């Protein structure tokens, strides 16, 4: 795979200097068009052999382009804030906004290369990381992130010569960390892992470019041209995303019946029994949250449901016995403009709790397959691919020890009407009922279908949906509390 | 000071339960009005004696109000990301947005109390912290943050009894950290420091409320009523801020001459000399940034100047020899909507570099006393108080080891006209010249006056302005680079 990047390609000084002005001008023009169009972000991943000119090339790019629109990030040691959250959190927080470019050194590939070369895991685990990476990059690409992946290459003798000359140059010797030298010994391993990863992760939406790194003129022109071509092509492309032909419902559903129909909506609790259960379950949750084992976990609860199904009331009962320093409630409304220029899941990633903490989402990332689908706020291609993206996202939360519970609070149309009318009568509840609620009510069948699809496609073993019969508020609240407690206990039992 | 909070006030259950429903309804109504008005944020600081019911009261408040609009933050151990920035950074990142409420436990007062009680510093230092706090709270208040400060009180015997009963109650014993017990011994010291701090920091814009903590009914009703009264008063208040009468220019300036007039605008460098100096100063900066002593510092460079004065070109020369992983350029444009609901300086605090890093601001917090003043985007009261706020801000940066350099790139009107016309001719520079630039040009005298005031009032020993004669781009670039290098060297020499 790397052979053709070891043949000693070079570009002489005259050719280089002749091409440069036109290239720089075109790069700048593309960069400003990117900014003005505001539809795409650019993400450049830098990997490869030590000494192959990664840093120098990026330095040049910053000089040639408008550095004010570029950010360069390194991901070395995780900070303690990063360590207490899922591994991908550190990348999400640094994603470039639309119109801007980010260059990631020490990205997710570096972790894979280093980990496998130093024997931290085997090929099977590597393949798992590769699959995760493909999902991530596919999703970023679908969300408007243009991905370039560069592997800077040197043959083994070239690398040895390069490292030696850098070591002897007093101006450059600071660059060489002990790790670099170690890599000289592990060159063969590194190449082997590199090949495996590049082969499997080079995709049309996120291709790898192998750049021969010996000659500075050659490597910098190559990277700049590749970027320019990719940018120009993407800027001219103006096709709408198309849904995949196989994006049909997961479960054939010809009779329009769904899980919602199987709920026994008549379930209710007496006031006394409710009070007793509430005290008991709240005490249980409070004690579980203070349990030492909670330090290894975090808790995320998602509240979705029909309008007026009692999400707010249920949330209040859940936090009733908790120390407010341990939890945070995130009400999900229209995205801010900083959220709008990022991939969809970004605005949820930023609220993922650290270990020991509890985040309650009052509405959530499921908005995409509910309100956005029904109201047409996003294209069918967008919400159809969201099911898989959400499952990937939740898997990452789960794998980092986050206990995830998801509630759909379900009421029937009659109950909703009654509650809407009650709300209109009580002065300080009137703000809760708007024109929009009445409009949503007219789309009851469409919402019902969306909920059915959502549950079918995203109720997984690691993050099952709990459908809550909520015609009786007391019944709903106890079911919610008990479900959270059971989930925490089950997670602790597995530790 | 605390005597009247030791007389055993209490409220019986009947009275409490009779008052509660009306109180809760009014609190909710105020909360929603706060949200809808979107002009104020609420910040509640919680301090006082251990065992006086701080946590319990906040828990109740969350139950009574809409917890979705409240966030509760604790500031215990600093994370490593916080440790590498000025101390106030951790508070800035958690400030509530307009329409929302934040409750800070373990806030800036806790640090003062604990530090003084445990002898980490003396009264003189405490008084310095008090002054800083007053400036911070004054500024937050001016920026629309409504501040409530609660001291939960217990007499010494009350505290001892309370801690004992908590210890004996298995449901509560988890609450008591070793530090709490220690406080029993240091009660007298704590009270003494508390008195000093409360006396000096209780202001009309941020008053202290001492709450007797023995009786749960009494303390929670007191806090809730205090909040309600304060909220309602603030929501009804609709006066525009008035500038202070003494906000005249710092230096009597009757003949309209300013420092700008004293610049020798004819200074220029030959191409050869420039090239040689550029290489030299870039190498110097590159080596300073790699110096071990840089680990204790960070570097912030502010670029302001006339339109077309060459800020972008100067920035490019500064970063020319640097590793892009070490610096970040922050172009300052219109605030995002997340920035608009925060105090003015919030959007700059979020970009303050960690130790070892370098941030270049292409335009900056000085926008308030330049474009916002001249164009009338903020009230005179706002920009007049900004000088002091900016000096406080920069002092905080400086005290945490940040080296701060500020440039005003100055050109004359003739040079500006020439550059505007040139830009209009070059296709890929045309985006750089807009209608707005021509309009700004008409306000040359107003901008000149604003610049003069800015330099007079914010050129301090810790953060002096460097006026750069920029008719000759080469001269300007070298002066900028050399100033940065000299500032870094001076800072290193002091270590």
pLDDT tens, residue by residue, B330-367: 999 899 999 999 999 999 999 999 999 999 999 999 99
Q: Is A310 left (phi over 0), alpha (psi -120 to 50) or beta?
A: left
Rg from Cα positions in chain B: 27
Looking at the complex, report in whole angstroms how far the Cα of residue A60 sits from the nearest Cα belonging to chain B.
8
Say what the pLDDT of residue A182 is.
62
- b/e code B5-35 from CB counts within 10 Å (16+ = b): bbeebebeeeebeeeeeebbebbbbbbbbbb
B341 touches chain A (CB under 8 A): no
A62 touches chain B (CB under 8 A): yes
Looking at the complex, report in whole angstroms how far the Cα of residue B362 sits from the nearest Cα belonging to chain A.
8
B67 touches chain A (CB under 8 A): yes
DSSP B203: B
- Ordered DSSP codes for B383-412: HHHHHHHHHHHHHHHHHTTEEEEEEEEE--
Question: What's the pLDDT band for B51 if we cut at 50, 70, 90?
Answer: confident
Say what the pLDDT of residue A414 is.
95
Task: Provide CB contacts within 8 A for A152, sequence distance 6+.
Answer: A46, A47, A48, A49, A52, A53, A54, A57, A211, A213, A219
Mean pLDDT computed over B37-59 = 93
CB A162 within 8 A of CB A184: no
Do A390 and A334 share a domain, yes or no? yes
What are the CB-based long-range contacts (under 8 Å, 24+) for A3-9? A4/A210, A5/A153, A5/A210, A5/A211, A5/A212, A5/A213, A6/A153, A6/A154, A6/A155, A6/A158, A6/A212, A7/A212, A8/A212, A8/A214, A8/A215, A9/A212, A9/A214, A9/A215, A9/A218
Residue at which a domain ends, from B180, B204, B236: B236
Q: pLDDT tens-digit profile of B61-76?
A: 999 999 999 999 999 8
Residue A464's alpha-carbon distances to A317, A395, A404, B224, in angstroms, are: 21, 11, 8, 40
Say what the pLDDT of residue A244 is.
61
Residue A344's alpha-carbon distances to A85, A144, B199, B260, in angstroms, are: 19, 10, 49, 49
DSSP B462: S
Q: Who wins on pLDDT, A177 or B304?
A: B304
Domain contains A241: no
Looking at the complex, report in whole angstroms how far the Cα of residue B427 sits from the nearest Cα belonging to chain A.
9
A67 touches chain B (CB under 8 A): yes
Do B208 and B289 share a domain, yes or no? no
Residues in chain A: 495
Residue at which a domain ends, from A184, A201, A236: A236
Say what the pLDDT of residue A470 is.
97
Cα dihedral B11/B13/B19/B25 (nearest 10): 120
Q: How many CB pairs under 8 A join A and B?
A: 100
Question: What's the pLDDT band for A395 if we cut at 50, 70, 90?
Answer: very high
Mean pLDDT computed over B205-234 = 94
Do B304 and B382 share a domain, yes or no? yes
Do A98 and A162 share a domain, yes or no? yes
Q: 10 Å Cβ neighbour count for A340? A: 16
| Nearest partner of A99 among A234, A226, A222, judged by Cα | A234
Task: Provide CB contacts within 8 A for B262, sequence distance 6+.
Answer: none
- B68 and A319 within 8 Å at the Cβ level: the answer is no
Domain extent at residue A347: 259-494
Q: How far apart are CA A267 and CA A246, in angstroms?
A: 38
β-pair type (A208-212, A298-305): unpaired
Do B163 and B287 share a domain, yes or no? no
Give the total number of structural domains in chain B. 2
Mean pLDDT computed over A258-280 = 93
Quote the distance between the C-alpha of residue A138 and its chain's center.
11
Strands lying side by side in the sheet with B465-469 = B327-331, B358-362, B298-305, B402-410, B465-469
Q: How far apart are CA A60 and CA B322, in angstroms?
A: 10
| Nearest partner of B389 among B137, B139, B144, B143, judged by Cα | B139
- B324 and A66 within 8 Å at the Cβ level: the answer is no
Say what the pLDDT of residue B181 is.
61
- B323 and A55 within 8 Å at the Cβ level: the answer is yes
Q: pLDDT tens-digit profile of A337-388?
A: 999 999 999 999 999 999 999 999 999 999 999 999 999 998 888 899 899 9
CB B315 within 8 A of CB A68: yes
CB B429 within 8 A of CB B420: no
A174 has pLDDT over 70: no
Vertex B156: Cα angle to B152 and B160 (nearest 5) = 95
Q: Which of A415-429, B7-21, B474-488 comes out lowest in average pLDDT?
A: A415-429
Say what the pLDDT of residue A186 is.
81
Burial class (CB in 10 A: 0-12, 13-18, 19+), A388: middle
B174 has pLDDT over 80: no
Q: Which of A108-122, A255-269, B49-63, B302-316 comes out lowest in average pLDDT?
A: A255-269
CB B302 within 8 A of CB B358: no
Say what the pLDDT of residue B275 is.
97
Question: What's the pLDDT band for B159 if we cut at 50, 70, 90?
Answer: confident
Say what the pLDDT of residue B161 is.
85
Looking at the complex, report in whole angstroms how far the Cα of residue B26 sits from the nearest Cα belonging to chain A.
9
Domain contains A253: no
Q: Who wins on pLDDT, B437 or A277?
A: A277
β-pair type (A208-212, A145-153): parallel
Can you list the positions of beta strands (E) in B39-140? 41-48, 70-74, 101-105
Q: How far apart are CA B299 and CA B286, in angstroms?
A: 13
Q: pLDDT tens-digit profile of A216-261?
A: 999 999 999 999 999 999 998 866 556 665 554 555 555 666 788 8
Do A389 and A314 share a domain, yes or no? yes
Burial class (CB in 10 A: 0-12, 13-18, 19+), B389: buried
Residue A200's alpha-carbon distances to A196, A206, A347, A351, B330, in angstroms, are: 6, 11, 30, 32, 37
Nearest to A324 among B25, B59, B337 (CB): B59
Percent of chain A with pLDDT over 70: 91
Question: What's the pLDDT band for A431 if we cut at 50, 70, 90?
Answer: low
CB B178 within 8 A of CB B73: no
Which residues in B lie closer than 8 A to residue A174 (C-beta atoms)?
290
Helix (H) or strand (E) holding A359: strand A358-362
- B68 and A315 within 8 Å at the Cβ level: the answer is yes
Quote the distance between the C-alpha of residue B95 and its chain's center.
10
* CATH number of the structural domain spanning residue A68: 3.40.50.300
Q: How far apart are CA A203 and CA A142, in angstroms?
A: 13
Angle between helices A156-168 and A178-185 (to 10 degrees): 150
- A319 and B67 within 8 Å at the Cβ level: the answer is yes
Say what the pLDDT of residue A317 is.
96
Mean pLDDT computed over B206-228 = 94
Mean pLDDT of chain B: 90
Nearest to A320 among B29, B63, B328 (CB): B63
Say what the pLDDT of residue B375 is.
93
- b/e code B245-263 from CB counts within 10 Å (16+ = b): eeeeeeeeeeeeebbbeeb
Q: 10 Å Cβ neighbour count for B173? A: 10
Do B222 and B298 share a domain, yes or no? no
Do B263 and B179 share a domain, yes or no? no
Residue B387's alpha-carbon distances to B50, B121, B449, in angstroms, are: 40, 30, 15
Beta pairing partners, A329: A360
Q: What are phi and psi of A210, to 5 degrees?
A: -90, 125
Domain contains A366: yes
Domain contains A61: yes
Do A190 and A104 share a domain, yes or no? yes
Nearest CA in chain B to A82: B81
DSSP A479: H
Domain contains B251: no
Mutate to test the interface with B, among A25, A28, A67, A80 (most CBs of B within 10 A): A67
Task: Provide CB contacts within 8 A for B372, sequence distance 6+.
Answer: B378, B382, B383
A271 touches chain B (CB under 8 A): no
Q: How far apart are CA B423 and CA B425, in angstroms?
A: 5
Say what the pLDDT of residue A38 is.
92
Residue B253's alpha-carbon distances to B246, B366, B456, B467, in angstroms, are: 15, 21, 11, 19
First-to-last C-alpha distance (Å) of chain A: 43
Find the DSSP H helices in A426-472.
Answer: 435-442, 444-458
Domain contains A471: yes
Task: Provide CB contacts within 8 A for B421, sequence distance 6+.
Answer: none
Q: pLDDT tens-digit profile of B386-401?
A: 999 999 999 999 999 9
Beta pairing partners, B43: B102, B147
Say what the pLDDT of residue B166 is.
73
Domain contains B244: no
Percent of chain B with pLDDT over 70: 91
Mean pLDDT of chain A: 90
DSSP B210: E
Mean pLDDT computed over B82-95 = 95
Say what the pLDDT of residue B246 is.
56
Do B180 and B278 share a domain, yes or no? no
Say what the pLDDT of residue B400 is.
94
Q: pLDDT tens-digit profile of B443-493?
A: 999 999 999 999 988 998 889 999 999 999 999 999 999 999 999 999 999
Q: Who wins on pLDDT, A334 or B184?
A: A334
Do A192 and A266 share a domain, yes or no? no
Quote the distance between the C-alpha of residue B188 and its chain's center.
33
Say what the pLDDT of residue B9 is.
87
CB A364 within 8 A of CB A434: no
DSSP A328: E
A162 has pLDDT over 60: yes
CB A300 within 8 A of CB A402: yes
- Residue window 18-57, chain A: list those with CB within 8 Å of chain B: 25, 28-29, 32, 36, 55
Beta pairing partners, B46: B105, B150
Question: What's the pLDDT band for B3 if we cut at 50, 70, 90?
Answer: confident
Helix (H, G, I), strand (E, B) or coil at A47: strand
Do B105 and B228 share a domain, yes or no? yes
Q: pLDDT tens-digit profile of A81-122?
A: 999 999 999 999 999 999 999 999 989 999 899 899 888 999
Q: How far apart are CA A462 and CA A454, in angstroms?
A: 15
Say what the pLDDT of residue A261 is.
84
CB B447 within 8 A of CB B309: no
Domain contains B250: no
């Amino acid at each position: 795979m790397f052979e053709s990047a070891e043949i000693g390609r070079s570009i002489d000084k005259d050719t280089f200097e002749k091409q440069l002005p036109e290239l720089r001008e075109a790069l700048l023009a593309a960069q400003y068009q990117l900014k003005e169009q505001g539809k795409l972000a650019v993400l450049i991943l830098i990997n490869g052999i030590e000494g192959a000119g990664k840093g120098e090339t990026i330095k040049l790019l910053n000089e040639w382009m408008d550095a004010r629109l570029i950010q360069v990030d390194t991901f070395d040691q995780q900070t303690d804030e990063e360590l207490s959250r899922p591994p991908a959190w550190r990348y999400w927080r640094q994603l470039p906004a639309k119109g801007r470019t980010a260059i990631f050194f020490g990205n997710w590939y570096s972790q894979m290369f280093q980990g496998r070369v130093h024997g931290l895991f085997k090929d099977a685990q590597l393949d798992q990381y590769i699959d995760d990476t493909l999902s991530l990059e596919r999703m970023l690409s679908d969300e408007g992130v243009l991905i370039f992946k560069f592997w800077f290459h040197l043959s083994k003798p070239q690398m040895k010569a390069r490292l030696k000359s850098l070591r002897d140059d007093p101006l450059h010797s600071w660059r060489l960390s002990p790790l670099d030298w170690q890599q000289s010994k592990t060159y063969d391993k590194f190449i082997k892992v590199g090949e495996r990863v590049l082969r499997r992760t080079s995709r049309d939406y996120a291709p790898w470019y192998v750049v021969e790194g010996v000659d500075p003129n050659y490597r910098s022109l190559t990277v700049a041209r590749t970027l320019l071509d990719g940018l120009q092509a993407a800027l001219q492309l103006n096709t709408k995303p198309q849904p995949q032909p196989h994006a049909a419902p997961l479960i054939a559903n010809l009779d329009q019946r769904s899980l919602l129909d199987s709920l026994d909506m008549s379930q209710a609790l007496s006031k006394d029994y409710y009070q007793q259960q509430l005290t008991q379950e709240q005490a249980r949750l409070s004690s579980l949250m203070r349990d030492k084992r909670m330090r290894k976990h975090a808790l995320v609860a998602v509240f979705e449901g029909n309008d007026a199904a009692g999400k707010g009331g249920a949330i209040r009962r859940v936090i009733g016995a908790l120390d407010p320093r341990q939890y945070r409630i995130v009400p999900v409304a229209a995205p801010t403009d900083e959220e709008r220029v990022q991939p969809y899941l970004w605005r949820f990633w930023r609220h993922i709790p650290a270990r020991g903490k509890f985040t309650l989402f009052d509405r959530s990332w499921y908005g995409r397959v509910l309100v956005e689908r029904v109201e047409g706020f996003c294209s069918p291609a967008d919400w159809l691919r969201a099911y898989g993206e959400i499952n990937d996202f939740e898997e990452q939360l789960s794998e980092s020890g986050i206990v995830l519970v998801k509630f759909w609070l379900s009421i029937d149309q009659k109950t909703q009407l009654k509650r809407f009318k009650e709300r209109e009568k009580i002065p300080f509840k009137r703000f809760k009922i708007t024109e929009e609620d009445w409009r949503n009510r007219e789309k009851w069948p469409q919402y019902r279908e969306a909920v059915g699809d959502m549950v079918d496609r995203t109720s997984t073993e690691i993050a099952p949906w709990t459908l809550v019969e909520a015609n009786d508020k007391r019944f709903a609240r106890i079911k919610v509390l008990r479900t959270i407690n059971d989930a925490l206990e089950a997670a602790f039992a597995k530790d």
